[in-house]
Amino acid sequence: MRADGEAFGIMDDQIENGMDADRCAQEVVAKLRAKQREIPVGESAMEMGLLELKRSDPEALFDMLEGMTANLRAQGVY
């Protein structure tokens, strides 16, 4: 989603072939019922690895995301 609320309009393989929304909702609800304070949901090692990086070195994660955003802008994607 863009800042103005419009659809971004570009979907990569990770998003297109990601977790089914119903399965995701089931996992979230189950963890809410279990009163789990943090609810990490993801299927790929990359997704869960980014969560671990956020915990261990948040500045490195933010720097990496900033670089990825700059790369997308340079490609005219964003």
Q: What band does 4 get if pLDDT is binned at 50, 70 and 90?
A: confident
Q: For residue 62, is pLDDT > 80? A: yes
Model pLDDT, residue 56 = 96
CA nearest to 27, candidates 12, 43, 14 = 43
DSSP class of residue 29?
H
Q: What band does 76 get if pLDDT is binned at 50, 70 and 90?
A: confident
Helix and strand numbers (H, E) in the chain are 4, 0
Q: What is the mean pLDDT of residues 8-16?
A: 76
